[in-house]
Structure 1
Amino acid sequence: MRRGILLYGPPAAGKDTITTALTELDARYVPFLRLKVGTGKTEGYRMGTPEQLAALEARGDVIYRNDRYGNIYVVDRPGLDQAMEGSRAPVVHLGQMAGMEQVTAFFPAHWARVLLWCSRETTARRSPQRGDTDTAARLAAWDATQADLAAHPRVQWELRVDTDATAPREAAQRIDDIVRTTSPRS
């Protein structure tokens, strides 16, 4: 059975850092590069065009789309299929519960759902440290993520990690333990 990890949390909660720690722990973990249509940061994305997005939408291959920071971010079926080749387990970053729901509903796999959290103050501090030029927008997204989480109190998380108090390698090891104990053996 195919498997993957869904990392949910506000901006600067450590999704990139913990994904790096996971890939160092086990080569089967791979970052899922969402399709991005827009401008700004290109690292960590597959950059696309409005025409590519329209073609994916016409084929029904858009699993989840969100518009934020003036860009469009897409989790797509062909991208996930490719990321899962060869028993790899993609690590998908999401900041909206709708994305969590759509990925688990429309892309069959064993998904380990992990909530990464940090304080708003930590986001305010980490955002400029990582090179963001739009920290105010990141804080607005933090607020939206907190409200989104509060609106979905019954979500079942395999793991919750407070990244203010947990080192990235420790978080990665805990996630790996969850994946190994809840996924069917290959």
Structure 2
Amino acid sequence: MLYLASQSPRRRQLLEQIGAAFEVIEVAVPEHRGTEESPRHYVSRVARDKALAGLAAAPAPGAVVLGSDTEVVLDDEVFGKPADADAAAAMLRRLSGRTHEVISAVWAVTADHQDSELCVSRVRFAMLDEATIAAYVATGEPFGKAGAYAIQGRGGVLVEHLDGSYSGVMGLPVFETARLLGRF
């Protein structure tokens, strides 16, 4: 049985897109980057922690559990989810006119096997004026989203260029996830 250790409706939708039959296990995993931890290692570690927490809670023996994490990174700084409107606007100002990375890690774990995939996409934002930032923040869409935007929503108009995985920027890279599941 396949389980997805995630509370994200986007990850559920993307996993459904590849035709996987699964159940959801909600997990709570601390997301704190260590002082010497690289952004890639941090994202991978959190995804693995989610998968392992899901495995511990999985009701079925022989379970395969997927855990995933996605973060926006600019100048080696990990942009998590904004705490409020001011934080969202500040993130968007910093991303304006610049290229950032979106790192998505996916881990699959069983009782005796663990494996992962990492997807790194580069996203360039258009130059954003204060009115555009304020209008986008007012939609409420930036909340609960790494980097304060949703490429699949209204935030898509902020993106000037994408080099990488659209689904990875959404939160679950479907190609890499399908490849990972194929190994299980």
TM range (shorter): 0.3 to 0.5
Structure 2 length-normalised TM: 0.35
Structure 1 length-normalised TM: 0.34
Higher helix share: 1
